[in-house]
Structure 1
Amino acid sequence: MAWRRGRSAQAYSRPDRHGRHGREGRSPVVRPPLPPLDTRVERFDLAVGSVAEFLRSAWPELREVSFEMADMPPATDADGIPRWVVSRERKRIILYRIPIERLGHLHRNDDLHRRMMIESCVFRAAAEYLERDPWDLGPERFRFL
């Protein structure tokens, strides 16, 4: 025996604002994912962190050193506004984001050159901590074969 519907087989269309149960549409529980934030602070943090990890892996003396970031130095010194401060007693290197980003002279203002400037400051700060030349810290990085 064939099953039959009591209604005619016409398609029933609901207004667009109603869901399948006849109620008004509700907002989704989870919103669509937002694009990742890409701020200057996060780019600076990423650049410093990647160079710090490279230096720690290459130089055992830096494994216990804390690479920290701050926005501005508390005061200027005789040489002007410091870009970083090295404390061997506390095993800390503090890099100041705003002076590094704003007072650096770039010949090309793009993401690559900004990142290279940040990385060079991390290398110079680590070299000051180790009392070495910055070029001695990663010679294989600067060799072009």
Structure 2
Amino acid sequence: MVSEPLPAVPARRRGRRRDRRGRGLRGPLVPPTLPAWRTRAERFDEMVVRVAEHLEHRFARELHEVEFAVEEVPPSEPSPWERDAVALGRYFPADGAAGLRGRIVVYRRPIVARCETPGELAEMVREVVVEQVAGMLGRDPRDVDPE
């Protein structure tokens, strides 16, 4: 028994499914020019960049070789001094033999989990970055950022 091919659906019918009620084609709810377009992770990255840029203006010579990075969570194998607490950030010194620059890493998820409002989140990000820069420079965090 030979089956007959199915008839092709006319192009106008295919198009009508997408605009079934005459409201236009589906598109983004928020245009890319508005702040709501960015994801939470992108907004978090921007907070870290703002704090890092502020500190780089104050300590340009000391921080010009330091990279700032954001990771979701700290590695599963903590350092010996971090066994009792979850790391919120970490400084990795430069390794000239391997060609690696100094790096300050901020861990997004542990910080976000501790904050309830966007204001608290911005404050916590600032505190973590300032603490890591202060540890790297061997200074008190209040000397690095008096605010």
Answering whether residue 85 of structure 2 is matched by residue 88 of structure 1, we say no
Unaligned regions of 5+ residues in structure 1, if any? 1-26
- Identity of paired residues, percent? 33
Q: Structure 1 or 2: larger helix share?
A: 2
Which stretches of structure 1, 4 residues or longer, exceed 4 Å deviation after superposition? Answer: none
SS for the counterpart of 2:69 is: strand
TM-score by length of 2: 0.65
Of 118, 123, 128, the match for 2:125 = 118
Summarize deviations over 1:34-83 as a string: whole Å, max 9, x none.
24423221121111000101111101201210000100111234132211
Contact conserved, 1:101 with 1:118, CA < 8 A, in 2?
Answer: no
1:38 and 1:52 map into 2 onto residues whose CA distance is: 20
The corresponding residue for 2:136 is 129
CA RMSD after TM alignment: 2.4
**Counterpart Cα distance in 1 of 2:108 and 2:29:** 33
Q: For structure 2, list consecutive stretches of 5 or more residues without a partner in the other structure.
A: 1-23, 95-100
TM-score by length of 1: 0.66
50-59 or 111-120, larger mean C-alpha shift: 111-120
Cα distance change on mapping 1:79 and 1:129 into 2, 3 Å: farther
Alignment of 1:56-67 (within 5 A): 56-59=56-59, 60-67=61-68
Question: What is the one-letter code of the residue matched to 1:138?
Answer: D
Secondary structure of the residue that 1:72 maps to in structure 2?
A: coil
Aligned pair count? 110
Sort the Cα spacing of 1:110 and 1:132 in 2 relative to 1 into closer, same or farther, 3 A. same
CA distance in 1, matches of 2:30, 2:126: 31
Cα distance, 1:96 vs structure 2: 0.6
